[in-house]
Amino acid sequence: MIQSGAPTTQPNALEAVRELCSQFEDLPPEAIFKEDMLRRGIAFQEAALRVAASFKLKSYFIFSFDMRPLKDLDQEENLRAPEEIALIDGPSQFRRTIVSVRINPDSPYEVVVDPKNEEKLILTCCSEHVSNVELQKAPPHYGHSLENGKPLTEMVPTIEWGYLVYLTVYRKCQYFGFKEECRFCDINENFRQQKAAGRPYNTVKEVDEIIEALEILNDLDKEKVTGAYTITGGSVTKKLRGKNEAEFYLQYAEAIEKKFPQRWLSKVVMQALPSDDLKRFKDAGVQIYHPNYEVWDKRLFSLICPGKEDYIGRDEWMRRIVEAGKIFGPSRVIPNFVGGIETAPPYGFDTVDEALKSTGEGLDYFMSQGITPRFTTWCPEPLSVLGKDNGPAPLEYHAGLLRLWRDTLVRYQLPAPPGYGNPGVGNAVFSVSAFMDVIDPKTPLG
Ligand code: SF4
């Protein structure tokens, strides 16, 4: 099986990433560092957490995206670490690069206080100063609550440097247990650990609560920093509050678009649903659909997503993605996959080349039809089946994937995927992988 990443404390991690930057000269070095930080996580010095505490904090918007369980975070990083950091300037002369924070106290990447100015932060790798770090102020609606007392940080958190309102309206998934849950996913376990730690998670957010929260957000968002929202949550295989999956998520889209028509770009993450269901979302005003396929390879899909394989089936899933393109328009169907799980033992490919070849087949299949998949960088969360026993995918895989994804996009002359803000290094805000950072900014926006 593939060597899935070296120990996270290896002393030459910085040399390794610099070496890879020189092998991938056609990619921005910022993007390669970003992928390395996403796959390895970030440590925080105690003093840096004190500085971060007055900025926008990690909201745990759906999964944990951490590399340690909450109970093992000795500095209470879960309550004090920022949602995202911006890498900028410093010795590497980085153009502004937004990185989602995945906490890992063992990471070679550490955010520390600048020794020359204790109010400023810097990023180190193996104790060497790599870049300066900026944090985002908490948006105006953070600190407010609904009339019933529920905090807006839980109801309507924002990510992507404030661009995307993330509406996890169902915080669990009905794919449950070893035979059904996707093996990289910790949604149900994260729900349990967050509740146990006292975070005000709600299993289901009520429609009227979401509307009330968006009203407050919208009133306070004078500069219109938020540009899109995503309705998301776990899969509904049976019924939830008497509704099937389409009916359950549709009620939110309908209510939001009725109250705030076209105020935001409207996006929905759901399973690959039949066309008749999807037409109702389109009619409600939803513009972008994410039927996430997670992994392309047929064998890996059945092993890593056993619930999806049993309930819908891999071939039907892929067929429905293409069908969805006829409803929303191909460029507005953007299925996600989890970049890196192709390599994870015990099921994954033996070599980076084989993993990339398989992923590339999927990109080719969809992009040749005008549909642009995108990826999040796999975070081996310890409460997930695959993350419990594995380190991250090799950085060579992630760098190769960035090149492959960008080259396939260019080959089919496709626009930058809509709904992610501006593309290009220095401009991109999408924080859980670097696909937007590697697009040539001259590529037209979709
Ligand atoms: S469908 Fe899979 S990835 Fe999505 S929430 Fe359920 S278990 Fe997690």
Ligand 1 mean position to 299 CA, how many Å?
18
Omega of the bond prior to 151 within 30 degrees of 0, cis? no
The string over 331-363, giving b where at least 16 C-beta atoms fall within 10 Å of a residue's C-beta and e elsewhere, is bbbbbbbbbbbbbbeebbbebbeebbebbbebb
Q: Give yes or no for residue 7 having a pLDDT over 90.
A: no
152-411 domain in CATH 3.20.20.70? yes
Residue 328: band (very low, low, confident or very high) from pLDDT cuts 50, 70, 90: very high
Nearest ligand 1 atom, CA 174: 6
Q: What is the pLDDT of residue 445?
A: 52
Strands 228-233 and 265-269: parallel
Q: What is the pLDDT of residue 178?
A: 86
Global pTM value: 0.96
Residue 1: band (very low, low, confident or very high) from pLDDT cuts 50, 70, 90: very low
Ligand 1 mean position to 184 CA, how many Å?
9
CB 42 within 8 A of CB 109: yes
Q: What does the angle CA 32 – CA 37 – CA 38 come to, to the nearest 5 degrees?
A: 95
Pocket of ligand 1 (CB under 6 A): 173, 175, 181-182, 185, 187, 234-235
Share of the chain above pLDDT 70, in %: 97
Ligand 1 mean position to 332 CA, how many Å?
21
Nearest ligand 1 atom, CA 180: 7
Among the listed residues 225, 232, 376, the one whose alpha carbon sits nearest the alpha carbon of residue 293: 376
Q: What is the pLDDT of residue 444?
A: 59
* Segment 145-196, tens digit of pLDDT: 999 999 999 999 999 999 999 999 999 999 998 899 999 999 999 999 999 9
Give the span between the Cα atoms of 381 and 102, in whole angstroms.
9
Q: What is the mean pLDDT of residues 58-76?
A: 96
State CA 354 to chain mean position distance. Answer: 24
Which residue has its alpha carbon closest to ligand 1 atom 1? 235
* Segment 27-62, tens digit of pLDDT: 999 999 999 999 999 999 999 999 999 999 999 999
Neighbours of 408 (CB within 10 A): 20
Q: Rounded to 5 degrees, what are φ and ψ at 433?
A: -165, 170
Domain ranges of the chain: 13-134, 152-411
Nearest ligand 1 atom, CA 186: 8
- Helices H / strands E in the chain, number of each: 15, 13
Burial (CB < 10 A; 0-12, 13-18, 19+), residue 165, is buried
Q: Give yes or no for residue 199 having a pLDDT over 60.
A: yes
